[in-house]
Amino acid sequence: METIELSGDVLVVGGGLAGTNAAMGAAEKGASVIVADKSNIDRSGDIGGGVDHFLAYLNTNEEWDTQEAFLKYVEKIGRGTTHLSILESVFCEELPDAIERMARIGNPLTQPNGTFYRTGSMGQPGTYWVNFNGKRLKPCLGRAVRKLGCTVLDKVMMVDLLTRDGAVVGGIGFHIREGTFYVIRSKAVIIATGNTNRLYENPRVNPFNTWLCPFDTGDGQMMALRAGADLTNMEYMRMTLLPKGFAAPGFNALVGMGGRFLNSMGEYYMEKNHPTGNRAPRYEVVFHTLEEIRRGRGPIYIDCTGLSEKDLTHLRTTLGYDKDTLPDYFDQRGEDLGARPVEIMVSEGMQAGPTEVTGSGVKIDKESAATIPGLYACGDAADHNRCVHGAVAGGYKAGKSAADYAHGFKTGDTVSKQVSQEVMGRFMEPLQRTTGYPYRQIEDTIRKIMAEHVGPLRTEQGLRTGLAKLNRLEGYLDQMKANDLHELMRSHETRAILSVGKVMATTAIFRTESRNKPYHHRLDFPETDNEKWCGLVKVRKEGDSLACAFEETS
């Protein structure tokens, strides 16, 4: 087994939107940066194919278009899921530079005429969503990262963090095509691996046909947990509405332009169920849609027939910014948004933040630092970052903070002991087995358990039953067999997915209330309890067990 040893000030694990911004933030503060991504940073992550929206207040003359109004909106839709002071630091303070940086790298948020095209949805008091063409955003970021002199390791999957004296000092991983093992020593590490997908049964049957990137599998969160870091908001599952049979982003575009949710009785059900109607927070729309289906009023549609021809033209154009194939899909099915309603469906679940402005994952502070020295997090892997805006702003914040930490590093070598061949071999074991279970067989079982016991309808008994099944299934992980390096990567993803499932079930048992239904909906505790539960559930690893604690939000 060939081993390559590298060292630098900052190691960024994950080269998606948050990771590339983190690399820029660290490099522009003078740090030597290594970025490792199991894909290619030019097209990896949730927005690898493009994106069409960025949330921002722009301080115009509107009373809703200020930082103060934005934070009131966050408090309203995300109460008990975030510290506003942290959001101020990792997003609000970084927002002006984030907007400027997008233009600087060659993918501005403005339209060709220099103006911002803004829409509103998801409970916003105004038009916070900036609609833009982000089709080339990731290639622009990849070019910027390389121009800054960062070392980029494409096709390298990180599998564990290196620690010394309670601090994170690097990581180990392998090249998923060549099998080369990497030992990377650094003064700081940034986790930027996204949320967790492939976790629940997929209504389209194919587990890789997911709303968000199917290769984001909770790897970074679980590495951080094993290293001793706290995670928060892990009890929340996340769902959205998608075109029937096809996992494509578009919820915000369709609703922001004026689409209306329609049931099979011809009723616009959101308009009678929520004060803001079709532009209610995403979790409210998903909750009421599930209720319509349970009551036999499906199928469900999105109705855009009332839009003007100008708005329809804009909508048809921008739907392809997130996923090129969505307009093609509509064309092949003979769907015409302007002529008749289009059938939609509720997506599979995933581990992600409960709102567009509150996250789920590694617990961070105002500097994007985790609860153990040397570790930082950003993007959908962190508990105070979400979506495109959070990844761009929060990623850069994490990079700057990690660079500052690295510059103040006083000790000598970051890792005093060598990484043994035994440690490296442990991660390669599935390749050595002559018999065993394929990763997909175990993953399919995880998804069934999660759907049946840790889904949008939860009870203590159901959650405990699901957790017991996941614990039993964990015993089979050491019997997974990989036929090649690609399957070896998948087997490590399977381990992370199962671990995330256990964390979600454990924290969902601990939080004896419902919040942001259906993302955390306890049938045995159906009400939101702000007296007892207005705050974060923290989880950490203690020996072989998981320990939960509660932290009030400020």
- Tally the domains of the chain: 2
With 90 as the cut, is the pLDDT of residue 249 above it? no
pLDDT for 158 equals 98
3-class state of residue 3 by DSSP: strand
**Domain CATH for 247:** 3.90.700.10
Instruction: Sort strands 181-191 and 3-13 into parallel, antiparallel or unpaired.
Output: parallel
pLDDT for 440 equals 97
Domain end call among 346, 375, 393: 346
Domain end call among 292, 325, 346: 346
Is residue 180 one of the residues assigned to a domain? no
Task: Specify burial of residue 271 (Cβ count, 10 A radius: 0-12, 13-18, 19+).
Answer: middle
Q: Give the whole-angstrom CA distance, residue 423 versus residue 288.
A: 49
Q: Give the whole-angstrom CA distance, residue 142 versus residue 48.
A: 11
pLDDT for 418 equals 67
With 90 as the cut, is the pLDDT of residue 393 above it? yes
Q: Give the whole-angstrom CA distance, residue 377 versus residue 274.
A: 35
List alpha helices for 233-280, DSSP H: 251-256, 270-273
Give the total residue count for the chain. Answer: 554
Q: Give the whole-angstrom CA distance, residue 458 versus residue 200.
A: 14
pTM over 0.95: yes
Instruction: Tell me what the pLDDT averaged over the chain comes to.
Output: 95
pLDDT for 411 equals 54
pLDDT for 245 equals 86
Euclidean distance between the first and final Cα of the chain, in Å?
A: 50
Which tokens sit at 484? Answer: 């090649």
pLDDT for 419 equals 78
Phi-psi domain of 233 (left: phi exceeds 0; alpha: psi -120 through 50; beta: other): left
List alpha helices for 339-484, DSSP H: 387-407, 421-432, 439-453, 460-474
Instruction: Sort strands 33-37 and 3-13 into parallel, antiparallel or unpaired.
Output: parallel
Range of the domain at 519: 422-552
Q: What are 80-119's pLDDT values in tens digits? A: 999 999 999 999 999 999 999 999 999 999 999 999 999 9
- The answer to whether 190 touches 8, Cβ cutoff 8 Å, is no
pLDDT band per the 50, 70, 90 thresholds, residue 538: very high
414 DSSP 8-state letter: S
Chain centroid offset of residue 310 CA = 33
pLDDT for 417 equals 57
Which tokens sit at 417? Answer: 């002991």
With 70 as the cut, is the pLDDT of residue 413 above it? no
Instruction: Sort strands 375-377 and 181-191 into parallel, antiparallel or unpaired.
Output: parallel
pLDDT for 387 equals 95
Average pLDDT over residues 118-128: 95
Is residue 405 one of the residues assigned to a domain? no
pLDDT band per the 50, 70, 90 thresholds, residue 204: confident
**Listed range (185-189, 246-250, 329-333, 360-364) with the worst mean pLDDT:** 246-250
With 70 as the cut, is the pLDDT of residue 507 above it? yes
Q: What share of the chain is helix, strand, coil (3-state, %, to 5)?
A: 35, 20, 45
Residues 6+ apart with CB under 8 A from 309: 338
What is the number of other CB atoms lying within 10 angstroms of the CB of residue 19? Answer: 33
CA angle 80, 21, 360 (to 5 degrees): 20
- The answer to whether 354 touches 360, Cβ cutoff 8 Å, is yes
Average pLDDT over residues 426-440: 94
pLDDT for 324 equals 82
pLDDT for 105 equals 98
Which residue from 193, 159, 150, 203 is spatially nearest to 46, judged by alpha carbons? 193
Domain end call among 346, 378, 410: 346
The alpha carbons of the chain give a radius of gyration, in whole angstroms, of 22
Which tokens sit at 497? Answer: 């997915």
Sign for the CA dihedral angle at 481, 350, 517, 84 comes to positive
**Listed range (78-92, 308-322, 374-388) with the worst mean pLDDT:** 308-322
Task: Specify burial of residue 236 (Cβ count, 10 A radius: 0-12, 13-18, 19+).
Answer: buried
Average pLDDT over residues 10-22: 98
**Listed range (154-163, 418-427, 464-473) with the worst mean pLDDT:** 418-427
Which tokens sit at 130? Answer: 């900036």
Average pLDDT over residues 526-544: 97
Residues 6+ apart with CB under 8 A from 508: 235, 454, 458, 463, 520, 522
**C-alpha separations of 396 from 48, 99, 137, 143, 400 in Å:** 18, 12, 15, 16, 6
- Tokens 């997908």, located at residue: 197
- The answer to whether 195 touches 215, Cβ cutoff 8 Å, is no
The widest CA-to-CA distance across the chain, in whole angstroms, is: 70
With 60 as the cut, is the pLDDT of residue 247 above it? yes
Task: Specify burial of residue 280 (Cβ count, 10 A radius: 0-12, 13-18, 19+).
Answer: buried
**Domain CATH for 491:** 1.20.58.100
